[in-house]
Amino acid sequence: GGFGWSAVEGEGCTVFTQSGDTVRGSILLTYASVHVYGKKFHETERDDDHIEVRLDARTTSEEETRALGIEVGDFVAFDPRLEITNGFVRTRHLDDKACVANLVSAIKTLADAGRKPAQTTTFHISNYEEVGHGAAAGLPDDITELVSVDMAAVGEGQTSDEFHATLCIKDSGGPYHHGLSNKLRRLAEKYGIPYKVDIYPYYGSDGEAYWRAGGNVAVALIGPGVDASHNYERTHLEALEATTQWVAAYLLDAR
Ligand SMILES: [Zn+2]
Residues 132-144: tens digit of each pLDDT: 888 999 999 999 9
Give the distance (Å) from ligand 1 centre to CA of residue 53: 23
Same domain for 190 and 163: yes
Same domain for 109 and 138: yes
Supply the CATH number for residue 101's domain.
Answer: 3.40.630.10
Same domain for 128 and 197: yes
Give the distance (Å) from ligand 1 centre to CA of residue 24: 24
Same domain for 55 and 142: no
Same domain for 211 and 89: yes
The helix/strand/coil state of 63 is: helix
Supply the CATH number for residue 28's domain.
Answer: 2.40.30.40
Same domain for 101 and 73: no
Q: Tell me if 55 sits within 8 A of 28, measured CB to CB.
A: no
**Which of 31-35, 127-131, 232-236 has the lowest average pLDDT?**
127-131
Give the distance (Å) from ligand 1 centre to CA of residue 61: 35
Give the distance (Å) from ligand 1 centre to CA of residue 229: 7
Give the distance (Å) from ligand 1 centre to CA of residue 209: 13
> 129 lies in which domain range?
83-252
Give the distance (Å) from ligand 1 centre to CA of residue 205: 8
Give the distance (Å) from ligand 1 centre to CA of residue 81: 18
pLDDT band at 245 (very low <50, low <70, confident <90, very high): very high
Is the confidence at residue 1, as pLDDT, over 70?
Answer: no
Which residues have beta carbons under 5 A from ligand 1 (an ion)?
A: 1, 95
Mean pLDDT computed over 75-100: 96
For CA atoms 205, 195, 253, 248, give the dihedral sign: positive
Query: Which residues have C-beta within 8 Å of that of residue 145, sequence separation ≥ 6?
Result: 180, 217, 218, 219, 220
Final residue in a domain of this structure, among 56, 78, 100: 78
Final residue in a domain of this structure, among 78, 101, 134: 78
pLDDT band at 127 (very low <50, low <70, confident <90, very high): confident
Active site residues: 129
| pLDDT at residue 169, as a whole number | 97
Same domain for 119 and 52: no
Is the confidence at residue 8, as pLDDT, over 70?
Answer: yes
pLDDT tens profile 162-216 = 999 999 999 999 999 999 999 999 999 999 999 999 999 999 999 999 999 999 9
| pLDDT at residue 33, as a whole number | 97
| pLDDT at residue 128, as a whole number | 82
Mean pLDDT computed over 1-22: 93
Same domain for 220 and 123: yes
Cα–Cα distance measured from residue 60 to residue 24, given in angstroms and rounded to the nearest whole number? 16
| pLDDT at residue 133, as a whole number | 86
Same domain for 178 and 89: yes
Cβ count near 180 (within 10 Å): 19
Quote the number of domains for the chain: 2
pLDDT band at 131 (very low <50, low <70, confident <90, very high): confident
